[in-house]
Structures are given as C-alpha cells and as structure tokens.
Chain A
Amino acid sequence: MASELGTMEQPAPAPPEQGGRRRLSELVRLPRQPLLRHGLLTVAGGVLCYALSISVGSLTNANIATVAVYTVVIAGLSLLVGGTGQVSLGHAALMAIGAYSYADLEVHNPHVPLVAGLLFATALTGVAGLVIGVAAARLRGPYLAGVTLALGLAVPQLADHYFNSDQGIPVQLTPPSSIEINHWLDWICLLSALVVLFLLANLRSSRWYRAFAAVREDEIAASLSGISVARAQVLGFVLSAACAGLGGALLALVNLGATSGAFPISLSISLIAGMVVGGTGTLIGAVWGGILVVYVPLWLSSATSNQTNFGANLPNMIFGALIVLVVLLAPQGIQGGLNRLAARARRVLRW
C-alpha cells in the first residue's frame, strides 16, 4: 500500500542520509501519480486477499469478512477523528441505520441487486450523517462525544420500536450456484473494503483532505485561509457515516439479518478502541483495528477456559488490560509502533 495509506499524523522523521540504500528502495518504488499508485496497490491487495480467501476454510472466510466490515467502519471513523478531528462515540448507531435500511429494502424488494442495496444503505446513512453532521459542526470535543454517545443508545431502541422488536429483519445471501457461501461473503466484504480504502486513499491526497487537516490543527487559521470549517466538518461526518452505513449493511449480510442487539454502545467503543490501538488517521491502522476487534477476543476466548466464572470473564480482563498497555506503550498505535521499530531496525542495519 502507498505512503498515503501509511501516513501518520506525525510521520516518522525521514533518515537524513540515504546513500547506497536508495537502490533497494527503488526496487519497490511505485508510480507517483496517486490514482495510478492507489489503483495498483488496490489490485495487489485484491490479489493478496483472493489468495488468502481461497487458502483458508469456511469459518476463517466468515471471520475475515467481519474483519473487512470493521475495517471499513474504522477507516471511516479514522477519517473523522484523524481528518477533521471530530469524535463520534455512536458509530454503531450509524451502522445500525445502514443494516436496517439494507435489510428493509431487501425484505420489501427481494430482487434488488446486492450492489444497489449496499449503495442504498450507504447513501441513506450518509444522509443521516448529514443531519448529525450539521448539528455536530457546532459542537466540539466532549460535547460532540456526548451527543453521539446518547445517539448510540437511542437508535437501537428506536429500531426495536419500529422494526419487529428485538427480532429484527432477516437477510438472505444467495451466492452464485457454485460458490461456497462464506467465500462469497468474504469476497463481497473484502471487495467493498478495498474499494473504500482505494477511495479514501485518493481522498487523502486531495485538497479536501488538506482542508480537513487544516481544520483539525487550527480552525481559526483554517477559516482565515479561506476554508469553510463547517463545510469540511459536515463533509467529514457524511463520508464517515457513509462508511459506517456500508459497514452496517455488510454486517447484516455477515449476520444474515439486522438486529438491534448487534449494535450496542459497546460496539462503538470497541471500534474507537480498535482505531486508536491500530493507529488513528492511517488506513493500515484501520486494518489493524479490524483484526484487533475480531480476532483478539477470539484468540483470548480460545486460550482461556470458560468453565468457571473467573475463566469466562478472563478474556475481557485481558482485552481491557491490553488496550491500556498498547496505548501506554505505543502512542501512535500498532502501525506507529511498527514504524518506530522499522526505523530503529534501519538504523541498526545501516551500521
């Protein structure tokens, strides 16, 4: 993936002298033109994902699909937090909007193509994001966090009230005849994730993203240099919500239904923890975040015994402690930590 994919808020300092090492880096040099570069990387990522999906079993495919779903949502959340600097603690609610709009559309119009359904859910959640974003543009830091948190509690309850209580809406997924269902699911989710990452990578090299960054760093300076702060923030919210909506619709496919129970506040909190631990503001960080949210609890629960009260709660104890430790020890998240390690290794190798 390109430099843009890995760009940190504070990029690691470039080595002052490159000398003879330059030839090595030229081996993996990519085109400078962003669209082309991101396109190449997306295709490469696609090949890698395809190879991964056919070399693992059905269960793993379903789990990778879930990783892809959370990657999409975390990438969108990261665009907000690492882009315009706004915090949302209610992204699970936006996912719920995506999931219910996809499921409701599909139930009433079973012949609507999958892609159309996903786009519909994405667009509708984007509109919801617009409404929230307009209100959010007036709010800062903890105040925005509080509103989105309350929203995270409200949306699932309203969904219960208006759509078949806690049973939700079932979703069908019918793969083309010869394809195993979880492979199909995995490909849909991975392809969606690649498309989203490609679009976001391009956005990051656009003037829009530079406006986001300007707003994040200093609103007054940004507005003095002719950037509409409110417009940048609303746009950030719309795009972030659209990602969450797509993620929600995809999660409805993974779960074979939209139910409010799948979108608790604890999911919003896991997503934001995944984002920070992965590396805020980077696209690779979002992938790390997705892996973290899906696989770490799975590993922990398979490594512990749930035969006693203590054992059943042990995975969460370790998970909580792990989050604290990573934030304390790796201030830029996993990706930032890796970058630092790489920089250190490079210094050592240079000698």
Chain B
Amino acid sequence: MRLFVNYTLNGITEGMIGAAVALGLVLVWRSTRVLNFAQGAMAMITTYIADAALEHQVGYWAAFVVALAAGFVIGGLVERVVIRPVENRNALDAVIVAIGVLIFIEALAGGIWGSSQRGFPSPFSQIGFRVGGQGIELDPFDVFTIAAVLGLMLLLLLGFRKTSVGLRMRAAAFAPEVAGLLGVRVKRMFTLGWALAAAAGSLAGLFVAPRVFLSPSNMDTVLIYGFTAAIIGGLESPLGALVGGLVSGLALSYVGGYLGSSFQPIGAVGLLVVVLMVRPAGLFSSAEQRRV
C-alpha cells in the first residue's frame, strides 16, 4: 500500500512536469501546427541562463524570472527567424527546422558551458513529508511544482478566455484567415504563442534540473514523455495537456514500479495505442473521428 502511494505521488509529480512540457507543445501546435522538437532544448538553455544568473548572486527568484523571460524571448525569436518562413509549407519542413534548432542548441550549450552535469537549486526543501514515521514521495518542492504548473494552466485559461489578446490568439489559431480579415495580426499572435510556449517550457526546465541535474541533454527523455502527454491530451487543448500529463505520469510510474524501468517506454507506447485506438486524436480532441 505504501509503495502504491509512493508510485502514485511520483506519478503525479512526473505528470505535472510532463504537463508543463506538453502545454508548451500544445501552444505551439495550436498557433502554428508545428511539432516543436526544440521545446526541450529551449527549456534546457534557459535553465543554463538561470544558472549563469545564479552565479551572479541574484538569488533564486530573480533567476526564476530570468529563465521565464529568456524562454519568452527565445521562443519568439525562433518562431520569427526560422519557423515563419516554413509555416505555410509542408508540415514536415517545420519539424525538420525544429530538429535543426534542437541539435544546434544542445551543441551550443555543450560548447559554452561544457558537457559536465551540474547541480541546480530548488527553492524549497526536497525532504519528503513524514507519514507514520517514514518519509513519502512528496516534498515541499513537489508541492510547489504541482502548484506552479496548475497556476500556469489557470493563468493561461483565464488569459485565453478573459483577455482580448487571448481572444485574438484563439481566433488566429482556429480561423487565421477570418481573424486576419477582422484585423487580428495573425503572425504576431503566432510569435506570441511560441513565446508563451517556451516560457512554459522554461518552467519545466527549472523543475527538471534540481531532480536530474543540468546538462545539454537533460530534457531529452522529459520531452518524449511530454509528447506522449500532449498527444494523449489531444494536442489542441491546454486542459488536455494537464490530463495527458497526469495519465502518462501515473501510468509510467506504475509500470516502472511494478514491472521495472526497462518497460516504461513500451508502457508509453501501449498507453498511446490504447488511448488513440479509442480516440484517434486524443482525449480532448474536438475534431470528429476519422473513418477508415
């Protein structure tokens, strides 16, 4: 029972981090129909930037803001400079550009900061809460992680629903031509979508680094499970990213715990197949099912 509780708690934390990555993927997908392979690498480099800020003794929270701001800027830049020229082309072209960006950023980080892993601080204790005299797989940092991802999700939902920028972003995503005719600067909304996505990714980066340490490839696995989460959720919906993250986080944790860690990736495949067999476009898809 205690093991089950611990696996569940691990799955929730893992799932929330996956949800933050998935959220970034969803924002990019909604705005530009691109599978952003560079999402993890962009998050990684913002964590390095935060680390550089920490070396200047700015304190954790300033570095936290620096990372999110850096993510925002990098995301916008990547969209504006290399993605926009391929936005109206074959979908695969944008994916390949994103892969090029991924390879470039990982090499850049290795070149500047070296390949060695380094520690990265967490703002809260990583000592688990005690239940019945023994620690459990939940600590104040986990609580902060969960709360921050939920908070981000809530902010985005409110932003999309209640602000005019949010409305314009939604309009640009779902009916770009009409939105353009109505005076929405569609391309600018796309850039904003990428910027927000990269900021959400930076948050994931800040939560991953204290747990698996900082290195140029530290987001590789998290990104793949983030994809799993986004796809289960349906790629269109921020809420789907959250649910997809939780479902895949829990499933992976149970598979790892009860069957062994070698089976986690095949567990992810199984979960994807099962979910997509029932709903070929994910849990929160609005599109009708295809008949084949």
Whether chain A touches chain B in the assembled complex (some CB pair under 8 Å): yes
A interface residues with partner B (beta carbon < 8 Å): 81, 87, 135, 137-143, 145-147, 149-151, 153-154, 157-158, 160-161, 219, 229-230, 265, 269, 272-273, 276-277, 280, 309-317, 319-324, 327-328, 331
Q: Are A157 and B265 neighbours in the complex by a CB distance under 8 Å? A: yes
Chain B residues, Cβ within 8 Å of A313: 107-108, 110-111, 115
B89 lies within 8 A of A331 (CB)? yes
- B39 sits at the interface (CB 8 A): no
- Which residues from B are CB-within-8-Å of A265? 220, 224
CA distance A229 to B292 in the complex (A): 7
> A276-B93, A313-B110, A327-B93 are contacts. A153–B280 as well, Cβ < 8 Å?
no
User: In whole angstroms, how far apart are the Cα atoms of A81 and B86 in the complex?
Assistant: 18
- Which 9 A-B residue pairs are closest in the complex by CB-CB distance? A320-B104, A320-B103, A316-B107, A323-B100, A154-B265, A313-B111, A324-B100, A146-B231, A154-B266
**Would B115 and A309 count as touching, CB distance under 8 A?**
yes
Is A141's CB under 8 angstroms from B91's CB?
Answer: yes
Q: Is the CB of A321 within 8 A of B269?
A: no
Q: Which of B89, B112, B231, B266 contacts A157 (CB 8 A)?
A: B266
Q: Which residues of A contact B50 (CB under 8 A)?
A: none
B100 close to A154 (CB less than 8 A): no
Query: How many A-B pairs fall under 8 Å by CB?
Result: 149
| In contact, B111 and A310 (Cβ under 8 angstroms) | yes
A-contact bits for B164-196, CB 8 A (1 contact / 0 none)? 000000000000000000000000000000000
Among B89, B99, B227, B235, the residue within 8 A (CB) of A323 is B99
Contacts of A272 in B (CB 8 A): 92, 95-96, 99
A135, A310, A322: the one within 8 Å of B277 (CB): A135
B276 pairs with A147, CB closer than 8 A: yes
Give bound CA distance, A315 to B265, whole Å: 30
Contacting A at CB under 8 A, from B256-292, are: 262-266, 268-269, 272-273, 276-277, 280-282, 290, 292
Q: Besides A161-B263, A219-B290, A319-B107, 18 other CB < 8 A contacts?
A: A135-B277, A143-B281, A150-B272, A153-B221, A153-B268, A157-B265, A265-B220, A265-B224, A272-B92, A273-B99, A280-B90, A309-B112, A319-B103, A320-B107, A321-B104, A324-B97, A328-B82, A331-B89
Residues of chain A within 8 A (CB-CB) of B231 are 142-143, 146-147
Structural contact, B92 and A280, CB atoms closer than 8 A: yes
A154 to B282, CA, bound (A): 21
Interface of B is mostly: helix
Q: Does B67 contact A (CB under 8 A)?
A: no
* Among A161, A265, A269, A316, residue most surrounded by chain B Cβ atoms (within 10 Å): A316
- Docked pose: A177 CA to B140 CA in angstroms: 69
> Complex Cα distance A223/B129, Å?
59
**Do A327 and B97 touch (CB < 8 A)?**
yes
Bound CA span A191–B145, Å: 56
Give 27 A-B contacts (CB < 8 Å), ordered by A residue.
A87-B92, A138-B277, A142-B29, A145-B95, A146-B272, A147-B231, A147-B272, A149-B227, A150-B265, A150-B268, A151-B269, A153-B221, A154-B269, A272-B95, A276-B93, A309-B111, A309-B112, A310-B111, A313-B108, A313-B111, A314-B107, A317-B111, A321-B104, A324-B97, A327-B96, A327-B100, A328-B82
User: Nearest CB to that of A81 among chain B residues?
Assistant: B92
Task: Knowing A157-B262, A160-B262, say if A150 contacts B89 (CB, 8 Å).
Answer: no
Determine if B85 is an interface residue (Cβ-Cβ < 8 Å). Answer: yes
A26 CB, nearest partner CB in chain B, Å = 35
Q: Could you say which residues of chain B place their CB within 8 Å of the CB of A328?
A: 82, 85-86, 97
Smallest Cβ-Cβ distance to A276: which chain B residue = B96
Interface residues on B, range: 35 or more
- Which chain A positions have C-beta within 8 A of B273? 135, 147
Contact partners of A137 in chain B: CB under 8 A: 292
Cβ A147 vs Cβ B269 within 8 A: yes
Q: How far is the CA of A58 from the CA of B85 in the complex (A)?
A: 43
Residue from B91, B104, B281 with most neighbouring chain A CB atoms (10 Å): B104
- Contact flag A320-B101 (CB < 8 Å), given A87-B92, A328-B86: yes
Q: How far is the CA of A323 from the CA of B86 in the complex (A)?
A: 13
Contact between A316 and B277, CB atoms less than 8 A apart: no
Give complex CA distance A138, B266 in Å: 19
- Are the CB atoms of A143 and B292 closer together than 8 Å? no
Asked whether, in the complex, the Cβ of B99 is within 8 Å of the Cβ of A316, the reply is no
In the bound complex, residues from chain B placing their C-beta under 8 Å from that of A320 are: 100-105, 107
- Contact check, A150 vs B96: say whether CB atoms are below 8 A apart: no
Q: Is B37 an interface residue (CB 8 A)?
A: yes
B99 partner residues in chain A, CB cutoff 8 A:
269, 272-273, 323
Q: A81-B92, A138-B280, A150-B228 are in contact. Are A309 and B268 (CB under 8 A)?
A: no
B161 CB to closest chain A CB, in angstroms? 25
In whole Å, how far is B254's beta carbon from the nearest beta carbon of chain A? 16
Which A-chain residue is minimally distant from B273 (CB atoms)?
A135
Q: Known: A147-B276, A273-B100. Contact between A142 and B228, CB under 8 A?
A: no
Chain A residues within 8 Å of B102, by CB: 320
CA distance in complex: A161, B262 (Å) = 7
